[in-house]
Structure 1
Amino acid sequence: MTQTERYQDLPLEEVIGDRFGRYSKYIIQDRALPDARDGLKPVQRRILYAMFHEGNTNEKPFRKSAKTVGNVIGNYHPHGDSSVYEAMVRMSQDWKVRHMLIEMHGNNGSVDGDPPAAMRYTEARLSAISGEMLRDIQKQTVDLIQTFDDSELEPTVLPARFPNLLVNGATGISAGYATDMPPHALHEVLDAVLMRMANPKATVDELMTVIKGPDFPTGGTIQGIEGIKKAYETGKGKIVVRSKAVIEPLKGGKEQIVITEIPFEVNKAVLIKKIDDQRLDKRLDGIADVRDESDRTGLRIVIELKKEIDGRGILQFLFKNTDLQIAYNFNMIAIHNRRPTMMTLPILLDAYIGHQKDVVTRRSNFDLQKAKDRIHIVEGLMKALSILDEVIITIRGSQDKRDAKNNLISEFAFTEPQAEAIVSLQLYRLTNTDITDLRNEEAELQKTIKELLAILNNESILIKVIQEEMQAIRKQFAEPRRSIIENEIEEIKITLDVMIPSEEVIVTVTKDGYVKRTSTRSYNASNGKDFAMKDSDYLLFESMLNTQHHILLFTSLGKYIYQPIHELPEIRWKDLGQHVSSMVSLDANETIIKVIPIDNFDEDRFILAVSKFGQIKRSTLAEYQVQRYSRALNTMNLKKGDEVIHIDLVTQSDDVIIVTHSAYAVRFNMEEVTVTGVKTSGVKGINLKEEDVVVNATTISVGVRGDLLLVTHRGAVKKMSLKEFENGTRGKRGIGVLRELKSNAHRVSGVLFVQDNDQVMIETSKGVRELVDTKPIRVTDRYSNGSFIVDTDKDGDVVRLWKVLKKKEYSKKS
C-alpha cells in the first residue's frame, strides 16, 4: 500500500505571521529581555544556576570557563557556545556591571573593547554576591521546570536576595522591544525597597530622597534630575553622562586635561582615537598630544594642550564633539507577569517586593515542614529511649529491618518515619546524655516552628524578616557611589578662539578660483611681489584676515562656498594656491565673482545679489552661516541662461545702481528690496528691453565719495558723478548713461565704483589688457560717451573691466 502525500494549503502571509509571532514571543519572553524579579535573562540565569549546581561557588577554587560553558550548553541552554561565554564574560566585567556576578581569572576583555581570551584559557567562579542571588534555591523557593531535553530541572527565576535589575541594570534588543536600564548603587536601591515596604504608597519624589539616580560602574557625572525623575515615573527619560576631567597646569604656560572617568559603555580606545582625530584633522588646533596613561591603578587619559590655549574651552568642544559626554536614554522594559512591561520605579520595586514575599513564604513553608518532620522523629526517639529495653527486645526478635519496623509500629504505635529512625539509631546514642540533647532539640524545633508560623500568619512579621535580610545584604556588600549627580544639564558653549588659535594671515583669491592663505612672514619675505598666478588670471581678493574668521566665495551660477579661514591651505606667497574645485565641486562654466570676508555673522547686514536678467534679492547675513559646508550652497535661484553678475555685503541704508549693456541705469534704496531666504529668486530690479542684460551693479553707502566708471565695448571710458543718478523705485527702465548714436552705438561692457588713485584693467576679446589710472579721467554728464582709450579695431572689443588691487603693507597689527 503506497502512502499518499499530505500537505496543507495555507496562505503564505498567515504561515509567516504565525511563525514570526511564535519566534517573537520566544525571544521577548525567553531570550533578550530581563525578568523584573531577578533582573536576569534566561542565559544569565542558566549560567549562574549551572555554576551553583556544580558547586563552582565563591568559597571554592576557580574552574575553567569552558567547563561551565559546556555544562550550560549540554544541560540548560542549547545555543552557541560564544553566546553563552559572552554572557558569562559580561557578568564578570567590572566596567559593565555595578556588582560582578562572576569572578574571572585571566583576560576577560577591557574597557578598550579588547576581546576576552578564549574560554579554554580563563577560569571562573560565582562571586560572593551571586551567592545571595541563589541562596535558598534548594528550599523550593522558586518554580523549577524541565530543561529542553527533560533530563534535569532549572529555575524559572532566582530567589535574588537583592534587586539585581536596578543594581546591575540591563540592555537587550528583541522583536519590537528593547531595554536600557542603567545600574544603581546597591545601598540606595535597598533603601528604596525598604521605604516602599514601609510605605507601599511612597511616591517617586519620596523614593528619590534615597535612590538619587543611576550609578555607573565607570563613574562620571550625571546631569539632569528631571530626566531621572521622568524615567522613574514613566519608564523613559534622558540624562547626560559626562566624563570626569580636571585641567592641570604645566610648566611654560601650558595646560593638560586629565580624564579619570568616562561615560558608561564608551570604548576608551575609540574615544582616544576620536579626540586625536580632532587634532590630526585640524578641527582643533589647540591639542598638542593625546596619551592613554591608564594602568592597573585606574583610567587616565591625558590631553596635552599647546601654549596659551584655554583648557576649559577645549574641554567644552570635546564634550560636544566626542563621547566624553553622551546622552543616555532610559527604556525600562522588563518581563513582568510573563509580559514585556514598561516599568516605572514603583512597579519595579513592587515586583521585587512581591517576589521576595513569595520566596520567604515558600522558604518558611519548606523550613516549617522540615522542622515538623524532625520534631516528629525526635518525639519518636524520646519515646523509644523511655521504653528502651522493650524496643531492643522487639528488634532482636525480628527477622530483618522491615520486620523490625513493622513490629515497632504494631506494638508501640510508632509511625513509619519514627520506626525508620529507631532501627537506624547507632548504639552510642543509647546513653543518658542523648535524651537531654533530644529534649533540647525538641525545644529548639518548637521555637523554630512558632517563629515560622508567625511569619506565615502575619504579613508584618514577614516584611520584617525581609527587611532584616536586606539590611544584612546592605551591610555586607554596599559600596560608595561612583557617579556624581548634578541637577541641570549644562549647556555647552563653544567659541572659535577655543578651536582655532588666533593668527593674522593674508588670504588671496584669483578670478580663476585659486585660493590660499599665506603667513605674514612669507608675504614680507617676498615684499608682496612675485605673487604666483597664471598669466590669464588676475587677483580678485587680497586681505589680512584672522584664522577665526570666514570667507564667502560667490559663483556666477548663484552658489556660494562657506570657508573658514583656518581650513584654507597654508601656501607660500610665491606658490600657486589651491583651486576651489578641490574644496567643493563646481560646474565647468561656473566662476568666482566675489569674495566677502566675515568676522561676525550676527551683525545687521545683508547679502545683495543681482542677476544678468535684472533680478535682485537681499538675504540676511546670518542665513549664510552653516554647520555643513562640504558642497556649494544656494544664494539665488536662477532661470535658465541667467547668471549672477554682482554680489555685495550691504546695510539697510545703502543704495544700489544697476547698469545694463544697452546703457540704461536705475538707482534705488535697499528698502525697495524685500528680505527673503537664500533659496529664493528675488524680485525684478530693472525693467530690461528685449535682448538687453545687466552688465553690473554698484552699491553706494551713505557718506562714501566716489564716481561711477563705465567702459564701452568700443573702448571708450567715462566717469560720472553719483549725483547724475536720482533715487527712484526698482523695476523701472531707468535713465540713459550714454549718448545715443544712430549707427555703431556704444554698449556698456563694464561698470565700477571708483575713487581717486584707483586703477582699473580693461581687457579686450583678443586678450589685450590696458591699465588705466582713473584720477585723470574727467567727470562728464550722462549724455557723453567718454574718451577712447583702447583701439578696438586692432585689439578687439572690450569684454572685461576690473579694479586692480594695490600692493599692501601688512604688519602683525594691521
Structure 2
Amino acid sequence: MAVKKSTKLDKKLDSFVAEKVQTIKLEDIISERFGRYSKYIIQERALPDARDGLKPVQRRILYAMQQMGIFSNKSYKKSARIAGEVMGKYHPHGDSSIYDAMVRLSQDFKMRVPLIDMHGNNGSIDGDSAAAMRYTETRLSKEAEALLADIDKRTVNFIPNFDDEELEPTVLPAKFPNLLVNGAMGISAGYATKIPPHNLKEVVKATIALIDEPDMPFSKMARIIKGPDFPTGGIVQGKEGIQSALKTGAGKVIVRAKTMTEEMAKNQDRIVVTEIPYEVNKAELVKSIDTLRVNNSIDDILEIRDETDQEGLRIAIDLRKGANAQFIINYLLKNTDLQVSYNYNMVAIMNHRPVLVGVIPLLKTYIEHQKEVITNRSNFELEKALKRQHIVEGLIKMVSVVDEVIKIIRSSKNKADSKENLCKRFDFTELQAEAIVTLQLYRLSSTDILALEEENRKLDEKIKELNEILTNEKVLLEVIKGELMYYHDTLGTPRLSQIEEEIENIKIDETQLITDEKVVVGITKDGYVKRSSLRSYNASNLPGLKEHDAILYEEEVQTLDTLLLFTNLGNYIFLPVHKIDDQKWGDLGTYVNNIVTISKDEKIIKVYCISNFKVNLNLLLATKQGMMKQVKLEDLEISRYSKPVRVMKLSKDDEVVSVDMNQKNNIVVLSQNGYALRFKTEELPLYGLTASGVKGIALSENDSASVAFYAKDSDEFYFLTNRGHIIKDNVYELPVYSRYRKGIMILERQKTNPHLVMSASRLSKTQTKDNVAIRILSDKTGLLMPLSEVKYTPNKFGKKIIDEKGYYIEVKNSINEELEEPIIVTKKEPIVIKKQEEKAPIVEEVLVKKEKKIRLSRLDLFDDDDL
C-alpha cells in the first residue's frame, strides 16, 4: 500500500496546531477557571467592602443616581430609568438583579438606615414582592448622600467600567460606618457573610472613641456598642454571644418578639405582638400560629388576627377564659418564629481579600479609609484654593493698572494676542491673563475690589487650614470626628432593639396545653393503638379489629396519664395518652410502629397506665430463661420517647415473658412444665434499666419460665394452659423457698398432648367479691367475662374456656382494693451465681417401703378426669 505524501497544506496545519493548540489537563483548566470565577464573585459580587459596607451592585446604583442628580431634595425618577442607567453604564447583568437590590436598599424593615427613598409598592414584611420597576419611583435618601459626599473631589479611586467608556468608583467616601450600621448578608464560593444592623449613634460614638484611643480595650468598646439594633426592633438576648461576635466576628444571639397582654374581659386576656424578629415573614408567622390552633396543638387560642396598619405592627391573639397567657407566650416562643437564633458571621473584603473580623478591626479599616478620603479631599481643595488665590492676586494687581490693561486689550488683535501682550507688559501668568481678558466690565468697580481682597484673605485662611490637615494627623483626625458627629446628630435615631444579658431558657410543660379529660384507650395484641371519647366508646358495640386480633388492654384513663407498653424484647414504649390519635372506637387504630419504631419480631406483652411516676412502686420482670429483677417505677419516666427504651438486658434467645406491678410480700414464678416457686419479695434485688437481673427459678432441661407475679399469702391465682384450660390455686399452699429453686409441681405432666402453663394472674378476695372482669387471649380470639362465669372446679386440669391455644390471662384489679405498704427493696449490685454454689431444686418428698423414694404433690388429691 502506497504511503500518502504530506502536502504543503498538511505542514501548515501541523504548524498551526503546534503554535495555537495547548495540551492541558482538564482538572488544571477547571481549577484555574473556577479560581478566577470564585475570586470575582467574592470580591465583585457577594461580599461587602469593609470601608463603605456596600456590594458592587449597591455602590453602582447609588453612584448612578448621584450622577443623574436624583438627590433627596429633587423629584423622584422612575425606577426603570435608573435600572437602565445602571445596567447600561456600570452593571452588565440583568435588570431584575439591579431592581431587587434597589428595593432592598429602600425597605425600612430590612435596612436600619434606608439608602433609597422609593415611592410606590416596595414590598412588605409579609414577603410581598415589590411592584414592577415601571411603576415605582426612586430618589436617594439623605443617608445615601452622606455615603456619596465629596465623591466629586477625587476622594476615592475610579476605574474604567466594563466597556471602558465610563469611570466608576471602587469605593464610596462613606461619611459613617455603613457596614455596621446597615449590616450585610451574602453567599459566595467558600465564603458567606451575615452582619446584623447596629445603631448609627452607637457606631459613630465607638468610631470617635477608637480615634481618641487607638489601643482601646475591647471591654470599653463593648460598653459603647451594646449589640445589634434591628429595624424591626425585638428583644436580643445573650450578652456573651454579642461580645463574642463583636470581638471575633462569630457569635450567636437569640432574637425574640416583643409581646404584651391586654385584658379582653374578666379572666380573659389577649396577647399582642408589637415587634417581631429580624427577617421573619409576618404572614408566615401568623399562619404558623394559626396552624397550631387548627391542629389543636394548643387549645387556649380562640383567634389570631393581623391588625398591622399605618400606626405599626400588631398581631392579636385572643385567648380562652382562664388561659395562662404567659405560658402560651412561652409555648409560641419555643415553637414558632416569635423567637429565632441569629448567628453572626462578620466577613468583609479588607485589602482585597475576605476576612472574618470583629468590630475593632472593621472600625480601624473605616478610620484609615476616612483618613485617605479627607486627605484626598484636602489636596483637591488646596489645589483649587491655590489656583483661585493666584487668579485673585492677578485681579487685584490689575486694578492698579486697569486703564492701561483696557488700552492693551483694545489695541490687541484677538484674545490670544491680548493675553500675550498683558503677560509681556505686567508679568501676568497665563492663568491670570485668561481671568483678566474674560472679566466682565462691572467687576472693575471699587466695591468688587474690596470683595476680591476679602476673598483673598479667606483663601489664605483656607489654605492654611488645609495645609494643617495635610501635615498634622491630629488635625486630620479632628476633622473626621467633627464630620462623624455631624452625621451622628443629623442622621442618628434612638435604639429600636432591646438588649438582655441572659438567654432565657424556656421550658414547656406540654401537659398545660392538654385538657384533662377521661377517655378510653384500647391496645390490641397485634399492636394497634387507639384513643376514643367516652361517647364514641359507649355508642359502639364492638371495637374495630383486624381478623384474629383481640384487645389486650382496654381502660378508661385521663389524657394526662402515660401508658407504658412492655415488649418481649426487653423494651418499653413511653406513650403519653394525649399523643395517641383520637379515633372512633369502631376504627382499627394506629399501628404502634407508626408511633414508635419497633423491631419486626417485637410484640407488646403488658400495658400499664401511670398517673404519677413519683410514687414508691416497683415492677417485676421475668424472662423465659428464668432471669428476674425489680425496677423502680420512677426510673421509667423519660422526657424523650421517640423510640423504645431498654428496661432489661437479655441474653441470646431470651425474651421477657411477664411484667407485674404494685409489689406484695411474695413473688410467685410458674414454669411452662408446671413448677411453681414462691419466695419473699425482698430476696429479689432492685436493679437499673440496663441490668439483666438474677436467676429467679431453677429450670430443668426443656422447661422455661412462663410468668411471675406479686402475691399476698391470702391470695389465690388462676393460670391458663396452652389447651385453653383455667386452673385455680392458692398461694398459701405453695411452700416458701429461697430464690433460685425449682419449686413444686402444681400441674400434672401428661405424656401425650400435655398441659403447659402459659400465663397466670393473681386473685384477691376483694376481686372475687367485686366480681371483676377476667381477660383471656388465644392465638385467634379474645374473651372478656365476669369472674363469676369462670366457675371453680376441683378437677386437676381446671375448666376449659377456649378452644384455641391460650397464652394470656389477666384478672382486672378491683377499685375497692386497698393498696398495701410497698415492700421496700434496696438496690444491690448484680449477683453472679457460680455453678458449684447452685442448690438442687427442693420438692416435697416422703420415704416408703422397700427403700423406694416416692415424690408426693397436691395433685394426688385430685381426680384423674381430664376435661
TM-score, length basis structure 1: 0.89
**Counterpart contact for 2:566–2:607, Cα < 8 Å:** yes
Find out whether 1:580 has 2:615 as its counterpart.
no
What is the deviation of 1:39? 0.7
2:715 corresponds to which of 706, 721, 735:
706
Cα pair distance change 1:764/1:230, threshold 3 Å:
closer
2:397 aligns to what?
Answer: 383
* 1:168 CA drift (Å): 0.6
Please tell me whether the aligned partners of residues 235 and 344 of structure 1 are also in contact (alpha carbons under 8 angstroms).
Answer: yes
Tell me: CA distance 1:655–1:78, structure 2 relative to 1, closer, same or farther (3 Å): farther
**2:806 is the alignment partner of 1:799:** yes
1:721 aligns with 2:731: yes
Which amino acid counterpart does residue 450 of structure 2 have in structure 1? T
**Cα distance change, pair 437–753 in 1 and its aligned pair in 2 (3 A):** same
| Greater alpha carbon shift after TM alignment, 129-138 vs 414-423 | 414-423
Q: Aligned-pair distance for 1:281?
A: 2.2
Q: Does 1:749 align with 2:758?
A: yes
Cα displacement (A) at 1:640: 8.3
**Offset of residue 773 of structure 1:** 3.9
Change (3 A) 1:75 1:607: farther
| Matched-pair contact (CA < 8 Å) for 1:760–1:774 | no
Q: Is the Cα contact below 8 Å between 1:716 and 1:786 reproduced in 2? A: no
CA 1:437–1:807 in structure 2 vs 1: closer, same or farther (change >3 Å)?
Answer: same
CA change 1:588–1:366 in 2 (3 A) is: closer
Q: Give the Cα separation in 1 of the matches to 2:360 and 2:780.
A: 87
Q: CA deviation at 1:537?
A: 6.0
Matched, 1:237 2:251: yes
Distance in 1 between residues matched to 2:303 and 2:146, nearest whole Å = 47
In 1, Cα distance between the equivalents of 2:450 and 2:565? 105
State whether structure 2 residue 572 is matched by structure 1 residue 564: no
> Structure 1 counterpart of 2:578, which letter?
H
Matching residue within 115, 119, 125 for 1:105: 119
**Structure of larger gyration radius:** 2
Q: Which amino acid is the alignment partner of residue 322 of structure 1?
A: T
Contact 2:422 2:428 in 1 (8 A): yes
Tell me the SS of whatever aligns to 1:787.
coil
User: CA 1:314–1:716 in 2, change beyond 3 Å: closer, same or farther?
Assistant: closer
The 2-side partners of 1:250 and 1:305 are apart by 9
213-222 or 225-234, which deviates more:
225-234
Q: Secondary structure at the match of 2:194?
A: strand
Instruction: Say if 1:371 and 1:297 are closer, same or farther in 2 by CA, change over 3 A.
Output: same
Distance, in Å, in 1 between the alignment partners of 2:582 and 2:303 is 22
Answer yes or no: is 1:645 the counterpart of 2:645. no
The residue type paired with residue 380 of structure 1 is G
> Where does residue 745 of structure 2 map in the other structure?
737
CA contact (8 A) 1:718 1:777 kept: no
Pairwise CA RMSD of aligned residues?
3.3
SS of aligned partner of 1:375 = helix
Residue 92 of structure 1 contacts residue 101 of structure 1 at CA under 8 Å; is this kept in 2?
Answer: yes
CA distance in 2, matches of 1:695, 1:617: 15
Tell me the distance in 1 between the aligned counterparts of 2:155 and 2:647. Answer: 73
Aligned to 1:800, what secondary structure does the other structure show?
strand
The one of 482, 491, 494 equivalent to 1:477 is 491
Partner of 1:598: 610
Q: Give the alignment partner of residue 697 of structure 1, picking from 698, 708, 725.
A: 708
Deviation of 1:541 after TM superposition, in Å, equals 3.0
Tell me: CA distance 1:786–1:338, structure 2 relative to 1, closer, same or farther (3 Å).
Answer: farther
Q: Does 1:318 align with 2:332?
A: yes
Shift of residue 697, structure 1, vs aligned partner = 2.6
* Contact 2:575-2:641 within 8 A present in 1 as well: no
Aligned to 1:192: 206
Shift of 1:28: 1.5
Q: Mark the runs of 5 or more structure 2 residues left unpaired by the alignment.
A: 1-8, 817-867
Matched, 1:348 2:348: no
Structure 1 distance, partners of 2:617, 2:40, is 63
Deviation at 1:623, TM superposition (A): 5.8
Read off the aligned partner of 1:129 and give its amino acid letter: E
More off after superposition, 119-128 vs 284-293: 284-293
Alpha-carbon offset, residue 645 of structure 1: 2.8
Determine the C-alpha separation between the residues in 1 that align with 2:206 and 2:253: 21
In the alignment, structure 1 residue 134 sits paired with structure 2 residue 142: no
The one-character-per-residue Cα deviations of 1:719-774 (angstroms, maximum 9, x if unpaired) are 13167364644xx4632332554645542132112212155355678969695848
> Cα offset for 1:259?
0.4
Q: Note closer, same or farther for the CA distance 1:8–1:605 as it changes in structure 2 (3 Å cut).
A: farther
1:806 Cα offset (Å): 7.6
User: Partner of 1:724: helix, strand, or coil?
Assistant: coil
| Letter in structure 2 aligned against 1:304 | D
Q: Does 1:405 align with 2:419?
A: yes
Change (3 A) 1:770 1:140: closer
Partner of 1:812: none
Deviations 1:284-311 (A, max 9, x none): 2222222111122211111222222111
Which runs of 5 or more residues in structure 1 are unaligned?
780-784, 810-814
CA contact (8 A) 1:718 1:787 kept: no
For the 8 Å contact 2:520–2:534, the answer to whether it is kept is yes
- SS of 1:109's partner is coil
Counterpart Cα distance in 1 of 2:353 and 2:797: 93
Pairing partner for 1:87 from 84, 101, 104: 101
Deviates more, 1:4-13 or 1:506-515: 506-515
Q: Is the 8 A contact 1:314 1:498 kept in 2?
A: no
Q: 2:343 aligns with which of 319, 323, 329?
A: 329
Structure 1 stretch 466-475 or stretch 554-563: which is displaced more? 554-563
Could you give the per-residue CA deviations for residues 619-645 of structure 1, whole angstroms, max 9, x where no partner exists? 77556635463x766666778876543
Q: 1:306 aligns with which of 314, 320, 323?
A: 320
Query: Is structure 2 residue 218 aligned with structure 1 residue 215?
Result: no
Aligned to 2:197: 183
**Which shifted more, 561-570 or 611-620?**
611-620
Counterpart residue type for residue 605 of structure 2 = I
Letter in 2 for 1:706: D
1:664 maps to which of 652, 671, 675: 675
Corresponding position of 2:565: 553
Q: Distance in 2 between matches of 1:78 and 1:185?
A: 34
Q: Which amino acid aligns with 1:181?
A: I
Identity across the alignment (%): 45
Instruction: For 1:220, give the aligned amino acid.
Output: G
Deviation string for 1:437-487 (max 9, x for gaps)? 111110111111111111112222212111111111111111111111111
* Pick aligned residue for 1:203 from 192, 198, 217: 217
How far apart are the structure 2 equivalents of 1:755 and 1:91? 80
1:377 partner amino acid = I
Distance 1:765 1:403, change over 3 A: closer
Tell me, in whole angstroms, the C-alpha distance in 1 between the residues paired with 2:146 and 2:497.
Answer: 25
Matching of residue 254 in structure 1 with residue 268 in structure 2: yes
SS in structure 2 of the partner of residue 753 of structure 1? strand
89-98 or 564-573, which moves further after superposition?
Answer: 564-573
1:53 aligns with 2:67: yes
Equivalence for 1:467: 481
SS in 1 for 2:299: coil
Count of aligned positions: 790
What TM-score, normalized by structure 2, do the two folds share?
0.84
- Secondary structure of 2:799's aligned partner: coil
Measure how far apart 1:663 and its partner are: 2.0
The equivalences for 1:271-290 within 5 A come to 271-290=285-304
Change (3 A) 1:263 1:764: closer
Distance 2:45 2:422 in 1: 56
Instruction: Report the counterpart of residue 851 of structure 2 in structure 1.
Output: none
Does residue 29 in structure 1 map to residue 43 in structure 2?
Answer: yes
Find the partner of 2:638 among 622, 625, 634. Answer: 625
SS in structure 2 at match of 1:271: helix
CA contact (8 A) 1:102 1:130 kept: yes
Question: Given the superposition, is the C-alpha separation of residues 648 and 440 from structure 1 closer, same or farther in structure 2, using an over 3 Å criterion?
Answer: farther
